[in-house]
C-alpha cells in the first residue's frame, strides 16, 4: 500500500503540525526537538551539507541484550569511538554534534517531502541542497524526507508514528532494538535471532528519569536523544524530588508497509515472543487492523491517523529474565547519558570509581574500563556530573 | 532497513567528505569532488557507470561486490571508492572477513583506488567466560581482539603490485588518513602538485607492518603447493582443497559462497607455475553440474574465470583407496561440530606428495 505525498500531509496535519511551502516543496514545520525525533527515527537528512546529515545511527552502545548473551555486555562503538591505541573517545556526544552541526539544536525546521519513483536514484540531496541555496533558503533549517514509491521508506515512517504515540504515553523508545542475531537456546528450543523494529519500555531507571524531568506521564523520550539532552532547552536535569515507581514493561513492534508482509511480521513477532521478555507485542502495518493473532495487538493507519488496538490476551513472560533485563536496560540508559559529558568529565568519573574500588588509575581508558564504571556508578552521580557547570 | 553499523560508517564518510571539501577549497576544487553514497544497498549494487558503486572484473565481465561510498570527479570519474566494515569489532575473527574481499578488488582491477576500511585490531565483545580483563571489577565483559585477516592484506598487497589500480586496506581509527588520500588523489587528477605516491606508499607500508611476518595460509590444511596430473607433471604450485559441500553453497543460512569467493580471489594471484585449481573435495561431478546451472553469482564467477580451474572429488585419483573412502564418507558431515582436521591434513599431505593426482 503506497501513500501519496498528499496522504502524508494529512497524517502530519492530524499530528498537529503546520504545513508550509519551501520553494516548490510541501513542508512540515517542526521545532528543533520534534525534527530531531523525526530524523533520528526515519533517517531523514538535515541539508546542512550537500550529502545530507541524519541523526539516525549515532548512539550505539550495546548490540545485543545481555540476557541472550550469557549475561555479558556486548559493547560496540557508535556513541563512543576509540583511537588507534584503543583508548575510548567521544564520537557522537552532545558537544561533538553541537560543534559539528550547531543548527540541529535550535530554531524551527521545515521537513520537505520528496517522492522518489521506483528505479530512480535516491541520491538527490546535492541537487536539492543547491537549488534551495540558490533560491536563498536557509538550508540549515531544512530536512529532506525521501518518500519512496516502492514503499521502502514507509516502515521507518510507521515507526515514527508509533514513536509519537508511545512518546505521548511517557515511554522510553527505540527503533532497531538490541536483541540477538545468533542462535539462542531457550526452553529446549534453538531460536534464530533478529532485530525488532520498535520498542517502548520502562525499567527501574524510568523512576530516576522521571525525578530528573527527563520523562513524565505524557512525554517520553527516544533513546537517540538521551546522549544529547543538554543540547535541548527542554531539559534542565533538576531533581524535582518526586517519586514515581515504574515496573518492567517491554512493548515490541514489527513494522511492515502493507498486509502482504503480515505473515512475515507474525513469524518475527512469534520469535521475539518465544523468549518471554516482551509484555506486549504489536504488528505495525498500514492496512492491517486485524492480524488474526490472539496475543499480538495491531497498530495501523485509519483515516490518516495511527490507531492502536491492544490484544485481549497477555503475553507469557519470565519474571526472572525480566529482572536481569532491567539491570541491562538501566546500564544502557546510564551509558547513553554519558553522551552529555565531555571525555575529561567521564575520565573523572572513571578515576573516582576506580579510586574508591582500589583499581589503579590509568593514562588510557579503554571501552571496557568505561563500561565497567557505568555498571558500578549510579545515575545520580552521572547526572550530578552533567549538571556541574 | 540498514543496520546501525552501516549507518555509522556512512555517517563517518559524510563527515570525511566535508573535511575533503574544506581541504580542497584553497584549490577551488571543492565543487569538483563529489561523494556518491546511498541510503539503500540496492543502489550500491548498480554498476558505477549506471550510477552505482559496483565494478566488473574486466577479465570475466562478472560483477564484483558493491562498495559503500565513492569519491568522484563531477560524479563521473571514480577516484577513491571505499568499502567500510566494522566486522572486526563484531566477532569476525577468521575467514568471514574475506567475504568482502571482492568489493575493493573490482575498483582496483579497473584502475582506480579501492579502499577497504576496517579496524586492523577490533575489540570484539562476546558471551564467553574467558578473556575478562583483570583490571576491572565486572565479570560481564569479555573482550577479544579480532585482527585483520592476513589473507586480506596479502591479497591486497599482491593486487597493488600486479594491477593498474590500488587495493588499499586502511584503519578507520587512523584519523585523517583517508581524507588525505582523497585530497591528494584529487590534486593528482587536476595535475596539481601533490604527494599521492607518498601517501599510497605510507598506506602500503602500514599494511605490510600489520601483516608482519605472518605468511598467508601457512597453517592451512587446504593449500596445495604441488599438484600433479596423471603424467606426473606439476600443473600448479598453488591450489586449494575446499570443504564446502552442496548444502553449504546452496542454502541461504550457510551462505558460504561469499567466503569461498574471497579466498579464491586471493589464491588465484598466487601460482607462479600453472593455474589455480579450486578442488571441491565434498562435491561430485553431478553436483558441480547442478551448481553450474544455478544462478549463484559467486560460483559462476569461479567457474568462468580464465585463471581458475574448478575440480571435484571425482576428478581425483587416489593411490590409497581407504583415504578416498574416508573423504567420500565426510560428504555430508557437519565439520564444525565434527572436526576432521587429521583427515584433511592427511589428504593435503597426500596431494602434495603426489599420492593423489588430478585426472585432467
Instruction: Note whether A121 contacts B51, CB cutoff 8 Å.
Output: yes
Is the per-residue pLDDT at B253 higher than 70?
no
**In angstroms, rounded to a whole number, what is the distance separating the alpha carbons of residues B156 and A157?**
41
Is the per-residue pLDDT at B254 higher than 60?
no
Is A177 in contact with A198 (CB distance < 8 Å)? yes
- In terms of pLDDT, which residue wins out, B97 or B42? B97
Work out the pLDDT band at B105, boundaries 50, 70, 90.
Answer: very high
Instruction: Write down the number of H helices and E strands in chain A.
Output: 11, 17
| Distance, first Cα to last Cα, chain B | 48
Nearest by CB to A376, from B5, B34, B137: name it: B137
Query: What is the count of residue pairs from A and B with beta carbons less than 8 Å apart?
Result: 124
Other Cβ atoms less than 10 A from the Cβ of B91: the count is 18
Its sign, for the CA torsion B126, B127, B130, B132, is positive
pTM equals 0.92
Is A100 in contact with A48 (CB distance < 8 Å)? no
**In angstroms, rounded to a whole number, what is the distance separating the alpha carbons of residues A218 and B178?**
46
Is A21 in contact with A160 (CB distance < 8 Å)? no
Q: Is B334 on the interface with A (CB under 8 A)?
A: no
**In angstroms, rounded to a whole number, what is the distance separating the alpha carbons of residues A257 and A287?**
8
Q: Is A43 on the interface with B (CB under 8 A)?
A: yes
CA distance A71 to chain B (A): 6
Question: Can you read off the three cell numbers belonging to residue A97?
Answer: 554534534
Nearest by CB to B7, from A56, A126, A368: name it: A56
Residues B179-191 pLDDT 10s: 999 999 999 999 9
Cα angle for residues B217, B220, B226 (degrees, 5° grid): 80
Across residues A72-100, what is the average pLDDT? 96
Is B277 in contact with B358 (CB distance < 8 Å)? yes
Nearest by CB to B136, from A66, A82, A369: name it: A369
**In angstroms, rounded to a whole number, what is the distance separating the alpha carbons of residues A54 and A35?**
11
* Stretch 306-365 of chain A: residues touching chain B, C-beta under 8 Å: 357, 359-360, 362
The DSSP 8-state label assigned to residue B238 in this structure reads: S
Is A116 in contact with A122 (CB distance < 8 Å)? yes
CA distance B279 to chain A (A): 31
Find the helix packing angle between B150-162 and B196-211, rounded to 10°: 140
Work out the pLDDT band at A275, boundaries 50, 70, 90.
Answer: very high
**In angstroms, rounded to a whole number, what is the distance separating the alpha carbons of residues B239 and B309?**
9
Residue of B nearest to A62 (CA): B125
Q: Is B89 on the interface with A (CB under 8 A)?
A: yes
Work out the pLDDT band at B49, boundaries 50, 70, 90.
Answer: very high
Work out the pLDDT band at A111, boundaries 50, 70, 90.
Answer: very high
CA distance A240 to chain B (A): 32
% of chain B with per-residue pLDDT over 90 = 71
Please tell me the total number of residues recorded for chain A in this structure.
389
**In angstroms, rounded to a whole number, what is the distance separating the alpha carbons of residues B277 and B259?**
17
DSSP strands (E only) in B163-307? 166-170, 223-224, 227-228, 234-236, 239-242, 276-280
| CB half-sphere exposure, A148, CA atoms < 13 A | 21
Is the per-residue pLDDT at B4 higher than 70?
no
* Chain A residues close to B4, C-beta within 8 Å: 57, 60, 63, 78, 176
The distance from CA A363 to its chain's CA centroid, rounded to whole angstroms, is 33
Across residues A98-123, what is the average pLDDT? 93
Q: What is the pLDDT of residue B59?
A: 85
Q: Is B39 on the interface with A (CB under 8 A)?
A: yes
Instruction: Note whether B39 contacts A75, CB cutoff 8 Å.
Output: no
Q: What is the pLDDT of residue A255?
A: 97
Q: What is the pLDDT of residue B252?
A: 63
Is the per-residue pLDDT at B143 higher than 90?
yes
* Stretch 166-225 of chain B: residues touching chain A, C-beta under 8 Å: 171, 173-175
Question: Can you read off the three cell numbers belonging to residue A383?
Answer: 547526572
Is the per-residue pLDDT at A291 higher than 90?
yes
* Stretch 50-79 of chain B: residues touching chain A, C-beta under 8 Å: 51
Q: Which of B136, B148, B170 to mutate to test the interface with A (most CBs of A within 10 A)?
A: B136
Q: What is the pLDDT of residue B1?
A: 41
Across residues A337-346, what is the average pLDDT? 97
The DSSP 8-state label assigned to residue A73 in this structure reads: -
The sheet that has A53-54: what strands, in order across it? Answer: A18-22, A25-31, A108-116, A142-148, A45-46, A53-54
Across residues A328-334, what is the average pLDDT? 98
**In angstroms, rounded to a whole number, what is the distance separating the alpha carbons of residues B216 and B224?**
13
Is the per-residue pLDDT at B320 higher than 70?
yes
Pairing of strands B223-224, A25-31: unpaired
* Stretch 269-298 of chain A: residues touching chain B, C-beta under 8 Å: none
Task: With CA atoms as reference, report the closest residue to A177 among A246, A229, A223.
Answer: A223
Task: With CA atoms as reference, report the closest residue to B182 among B3, B9, B334, B36.
Answer: B36
**In angstroms, rounded to a whole number, what is the distance separating the alpha carbons of residues A34 and B240?**
57
% of chain A with per-residue pLDDT over 70 = 100
Task: With CA atoms as reference, report the closest residue to A174 among A11, A319, A59, A46.
Answer: A59
Lowest average pLDDT, out of A128-142, A176-190, A205-219, B187-201, goes to A176-190
Is A93 in contact with A101 (CB distance < 8 Å)? no
Q: What is the pLDDT of residue B3?
A: 52
Q: Is B31 on the interface with A (CB under 8 A)?
A: no
DSSP strands (E only) in chain B? 33-37, 69-73, 77-84, 113-117, 121-126, 142-147, 166-170, 223-224, 227-228, 234-236, 239-242, 276-280, 308-312, 316-318, 356-358
Nearest by CB to A74, from B3, B125, B171: name it: B125
Q: Which of A75, A368, A373, A377 to mutate to test the interface with B (most CBs of B within 10 A)?
A: A368
Lowest average pLDDT, out of A24-38, A299-313, A326-340, B93-107, goes to B93-107
Residue B261 — φ and ψ, nearest 5°? -60, -45
3-class secondary-structure state, position A29? strand
Is the per-residue pLDDT at A189 higher than 90?
no
Is B221 in contact with B341 (CB distance < 8 Å)? yes
b/e map B31-44, b = 16+ CB within 10 Å: ebbbbbbbbeeebb
Is A254 in contact with A205 (CB distance < 8 Å)? no
Return all residues near A281 (Cβ < 8 A) that are at least 6 apart: A251, A252, A253, A254, A269, A272, A273, A295, A296, A297, A311, A315
Cα angle for residues B182, B188, B194 (degrees, 5° grid): 85
* Chain B residues close to A123, C-beta within 8 Å: 36-38, 43, 51
Q: What is the pLDDT of residue B304?
A: 87
Q: Is A127 on the interface with B (CB under 8 A)?
A: no
* Stretch 91-120 of chain B: residues touching chain A, C-beta under 8 Å: none
Cα angle for residues A319, A324, A327 (degrees, 5° grid): 125
- Dihedral in degrees, nearest 10, Cα atoms A85, A88, A93, A97: 0
Return all residues near B45 (Cβ < 8 A) that are at least 6 apart: B52, B53, B54, B63, B66
| CB half-sphere exposure, A235, CA atoms < 13 A | 27
Is A178 in contact with A192 (CB distance < 8 Å)? no
Residues B118-135 pLDDT 10s: 999 999 999 998 889 999
Is the per-residue pLDDT at B54 higher than 90?
yes
Instruction: Note whether B14 contacts A53, CB cutoff 8 Å.
Output: yes
Q: What is the pLDDT of residue A95?
A: 97
Work out the pLDDT band at B60, boundaries 50, 70, 90.
Answer: confident
Other Cβ atoms less than 10 A from the Cβ of B220: the count is 14
3-class secondary-structure state, position B61? coil
**In angstroms, rounded to a whole number, what is the distance separating the alpha carbons of residues A261 and B43?**
23
Residues A134-168 pLDDT 10s: 999 999 999 999 998 887 789 999 999 999 999 99
Amino acid at each position: 500500500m503506497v501513500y501519496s505525498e498528499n496522504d502524508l500531509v494529512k497524517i502530519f496535519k492530524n499530528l498537529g503540525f503546520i504545513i508550509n511551502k519551501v520553494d516548490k516543496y510541501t513542508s512540515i514545520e517542526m521545532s528543533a526537538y520534534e525534527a530531531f525525533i523525526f530524523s533520528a527515527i526515519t533517517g531523514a537528512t538535515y541539508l546542512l551539507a550537500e550529502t545530507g546529515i541524519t541523526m539516525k545511527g549515532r548512539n550505539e552502545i550495546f548490540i545485543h541484550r545481555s540476557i541472550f548473551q550469557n549475561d555479558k555486555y556486548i559493547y560496540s562503538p557508535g556513541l563512543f569511538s576509540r583511537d588507534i591505541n584503543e583508548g575510548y573517545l567521544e564520537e557522537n556526544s552532545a558537544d561533538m554534534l553541537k560543534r559539528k552541526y550547531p543548527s540541529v539544536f535550535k530554531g524551527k525546521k521545515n521537513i520537505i517531502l520528496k517522492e522518489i519513483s521506483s528505479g530512480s536514484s535516491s541520491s538527490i540531496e546535492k541537487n536539492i541542497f543547491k537549488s534551495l541555496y540558490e533560491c536563498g533558503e536557509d538550508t540549515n533549517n531544512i530536512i529532506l524526507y525521501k518518500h519512496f514509491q516502492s514503499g521502502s521508506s514507509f516502515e521507518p515512517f510507521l515507526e515514527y508514528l508509533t514513536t509519537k504515540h508511545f512518546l505521548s504515553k511517557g515511554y522510553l523508545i527505540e527503533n532497531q532494538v538490541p536483541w540477538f542475531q545468533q542462535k539462542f537456546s531457550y526452553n529446549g528450543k534453538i531460536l534464530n535471532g533478529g532485530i525488532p523494529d520498535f520498542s517502548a519500555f520502562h525499567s527501574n531507571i524510568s523512576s530516576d528519569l522521571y525525578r530528573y524531568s527527563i520523562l513524565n506521564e505524557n512525554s517520553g523520550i527516544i533513546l537517540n536523544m538521551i546522549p544529547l539532552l543538554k543540547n535541548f532547552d527542554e531539559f534542565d536535569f533538576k531533581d524535582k524530588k518526586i517519586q514515581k515507581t515504574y515496573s518492567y514493561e517491554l512493548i515490541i513492534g514489527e513494522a511492515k508497509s502493507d498486509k502482504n508482509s503480515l505473515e512475515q511480521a507474525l513469524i518475527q513477532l512469534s520469535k521475539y515472543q518465544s523468549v518471554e521478555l516482551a509484555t506486549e507485542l504489536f504488528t505495525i502495518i498500514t492496512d492491517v487492523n486485524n492480524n488474526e493473532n490472539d496475543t499480538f495487538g495491531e497498530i495501523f493507519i485509519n483515516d490518516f491517523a495511527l490507531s492502536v488496538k491492544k490484544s485481549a490476551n497477555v503475553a507469557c513472560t519470565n519474571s526472572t529474565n525480566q529482572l536481569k533485563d532491567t539491570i541491562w536496560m538501566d546500564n544502557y540508559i546510564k551509558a547513553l547519558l554519558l553522551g552529555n559529558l565531555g571525555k575529561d568529565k567521564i575520565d573523572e568519573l572513571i578515576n573516582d570509581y576506580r579510586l574508591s574500588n582500589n583499581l589503579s588509575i590509568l593514562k588510557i581508558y579503554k571501552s571496557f574500563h568505561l563500561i565497567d564504571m557505568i555498571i558500578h556508578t549510579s545515575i545520580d552521580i552521572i547526572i550530578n556530573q552533567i549538571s556541574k557547570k | 532497513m540498514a543496520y546501525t553499523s552501516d549507518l555509522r560508517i556512512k555517517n563517518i564518510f559524510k563527515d570525511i567528505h566535508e573535511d575533503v571539501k574544506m581541504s580542497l577549497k584553497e584549490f577551488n576544487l571543492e565543487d569538483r569532488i563529489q561523494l556518491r553514497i546511498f541510503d539503500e544497498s540496492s543502489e550500491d549494487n548498480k554498476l558505477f557507470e549506471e550510477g552505482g558503486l559496483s565494478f566488473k572484473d574486466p577479465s570475466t565481465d562478472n560483477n564484483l561486490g558493491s562498495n559503500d561510498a565513492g569519491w568522484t570527479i563531477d560524479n563521473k570519474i571514480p577516484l577513491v571508492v571505499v568499502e567500510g566494515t566494522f566486522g572486526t569489532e563484531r566477532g569476525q575473527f577468521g575467514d568471514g572477513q574475506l567475504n568482502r574481499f571482492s568489493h575493493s578488488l573490482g575498483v582496483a582491477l579497473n584502475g582506480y583506488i579501492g579502499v577497504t576500511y576496517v579496524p586492523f585490531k577490533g575489540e570484539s565483545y562476546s558471551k564467553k567466560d574467558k578473556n575478562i580483563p583483570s583490571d576491572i571489577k565486572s565479570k560481564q565483559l569479555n573482550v577479544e581482539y579480532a585482527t585483520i585477516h592476513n589473507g586480506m592484506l596479502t591479497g591486497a598487497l599482491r593486487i597493488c603490485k600486479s594491477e593498474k589500480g590500488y587495493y588499499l586496506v586502511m584503519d578507520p581509527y587512523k584519523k585523517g588518513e583517508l581524507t588525505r588520500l582523497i585530497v591528494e588523489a584529487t590534486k593528482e587528477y587536476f595535475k596539481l602538485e601533490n604527494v599521492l605516491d607518498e601517501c599510497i606508499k605510507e598506506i602500503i607500508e602500514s599494511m605490510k607492518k600489520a601483516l608482519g611476518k605472518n605468511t598467508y595460509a601457512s597453517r592451512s590444511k587446504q593449500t596445495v603447493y604441488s599438484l600433479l596430473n596423471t603424467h606426473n607433471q606439476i600443473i600448479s604450485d598453488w591450489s586449494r582443497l575446499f570443504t564446502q559441500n552442496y548444502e553449504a553453497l546452496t542454502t541461504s543460512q550457510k551462505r558460504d559462497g561469499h567466503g569461498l569467493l574471497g579466498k579464491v580471489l586471493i589464491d588465484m594471484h598466487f601460482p607462479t607455475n600453472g593455474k589455480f585449481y579450486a578442488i571441491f573435495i565434498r562435491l561430485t561431478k553431478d553436483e558441480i553440474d547442478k551448481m553450474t546451472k544455478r544462478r549463484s553469482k559467486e560460483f559462476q564467477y569461479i567457474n568462468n574465470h580464465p585463471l581458475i580451474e574448478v575440480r571435484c572429488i571425482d576428478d581425483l585419483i587416489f593411490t590409497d583407496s581407504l583415504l578416498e573412502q574416508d573423504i567420500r564418507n565426510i560428504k555430508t558431515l557437519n565439520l564444525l561440530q565434527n572436526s576432521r582436521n587429521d583427515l584433511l591434513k592427511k589428504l593435503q599431505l597426500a596431494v602434495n606428495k603426489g599420492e593423489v593426482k588430478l585426472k585432467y
